[in-house]
Amino acid sequence: MTARATDARRAAVLGKPIAHSLSPVLHRAAYRELGLTGWSYDRFELDEAALPGFVEQLGPEWAGLSVTMPLKRAVIPLLDGISDTAASVEAVNTVVFAEDGRRLGDNTDIPGMVAALRERGIEQVDSAAILGAGATASSALAALARICTGEVVAYVRSDARAAEMRQWGERLDVEVRTADWADAAEALRAPLVIATTPAGATDALAHAVPERPAALFDVLYDPWPTELAARWSMTGGAVVSGLDLLVHQAVLQVEQMTGRTPAPVEAMRTAGEHALAAR
């Protein structure tokens, strides 16, 4: 059912820590652009222990929730169903409350990654490299399952992480080879490099960017640009940022929660850029 502008509906982002989240900025920008004057979007700092009680007390005015770390798996037992996309990585970042009262979970990070790449003209690659092996790396693998026709090499810091990435590859039907982080400079020659590491982790690789790099997807957005992304841009390579990902996953959330399509991508991106600049 499509939302009416005057409906008093609520949505929010949940996680811990949450003060840094740009989700309220993006969703509120979408509501303004769509004329949804009765809609509000807030943030709540919650850990796994507090999550069930919070979800149980939500009333019929609630349209949906954005879910971030550390709640993406903890929320699953509280839901009535999850999408195949969310099940593929055992992570939910979107909860929509259906008219019949059901709580439905989805993962918009994965199609958000694909959409962010497509926006830069990257629709298919014959191989790729992933830097890192955390939760975002599994989402990256799921996105690559849709666009990569060949091998994905994951550069990791431990044997345990290597084993995890190979297991995710088997589960997602992606050909994954693992390599030691010490050799991460080799990753930069791939047709698509996805950096999923924390701030500062790839700074030492900036000097190794090739003369003609292909495409870099760096999931960070604050601080931005990272040293790797800045060097990549200087040499003429295509760069997709964490803000691009954040915007595109939020676009899909807005569409699911409000029933309005298309969500206003550019208005949401501009709001995010202004918020980051103000920091």
Q: How far is Cα 273 from Cα 253, in angstroms, rounded to an integer?
A: 19
Q: Which residues contact 224 (CB under 8 A, 6 or more apart)?
A: 241, 242, 243, 276
Q: Output Rg (C-alpha) for the chain, integer angstroms.
A: 19
Strand ranges, E, within the chain: 9-15, 39-45, 62-67, 81-82, 94-97, 103-106, 128-131, 152-156, 176-180, 192-195, 215-218, 238-240
Q: How far is Cα 58 from Cα 169, in angstroms, rounded to an integer?
A: 37
- Phi and psi angles of residue 188, each rounded to the nearest 5 degrees, phi first: -70, -10
What residues are annotated to the active site?
72
